[in-house]
Amino acid sequence: MSRSRALWLALVLGLASQSLVADENCQQSARTDLERLYCQVIAEGAGQNLPSQADFRRNDPEVQALLLRGPARRLGIQMPDAEGASDRLESPVAARPAEPVPESRDPRPARRGRLSDCRLEGERITCPDRNFDLALNRPNSELAPGVLARDNRLGLNAYEGDLANETAVRRYLSDAYDRYIPKMVEIGLGANTMSFTAFYNAFQTLEGGGVNFAGRMEQTFQLLKQDKQSLAVKARYHEELPDNLFLCDAVNRDIIVCDNVGTNWVFVRSDR
Q: What is the pLDDT of residue 108?
A: 56
Cβ proximity of 233 and 89 under 8 Å: yes
Cβ proximity of 203 and 209 under 8 Å: no
Q: Give the torsion sign (CA, 20, 25, 30, 34).
A: positive
Rounded to whole angstroms, how far apart are CA atoms 165 and 23?
Answer: 40
User: CA-CA distances (angstroms) from residue 180 to 132, 200, 205?
Assistant: 18, 12, 18
Q: What is the pLDDT of residue 1?
A: 52
CA 113, chain centre distance (Å) = 26
Tens of pLDDT, residue by residue, the chain (272 residues): 555 555 566 666 665 333 233 445 788 888 898 988 988 888 887 776 677 777 777 676 877 887 788 788 778 888 886 543 433 343 333 334 333 344 434 555 544 455 888 999 999 999 998 999 999 999 999 999 999 999 999 999 999 999 999 999 999 999 999 999 999 999 999 998 988 988 998 899 889 888 899 999 999 999 899 889 888 888 988 889 998 898 899 999 999 999 887 789 999 999 76
**Rounded to a whole number, what is the distance in angstroms from the first to the last CA of the chain?**
32
Please, which residues have CB within 8 angstroms of residue 88's CB and are 6 or more apart in sequence?
A: 231, 232, 233, 234
Please, which residues have CB within 8 angstroms of residue 75's CB and are 6 or more apart in sequence?
A: 41, 44, 46
H/E segment holding residue 266: strand 264-270
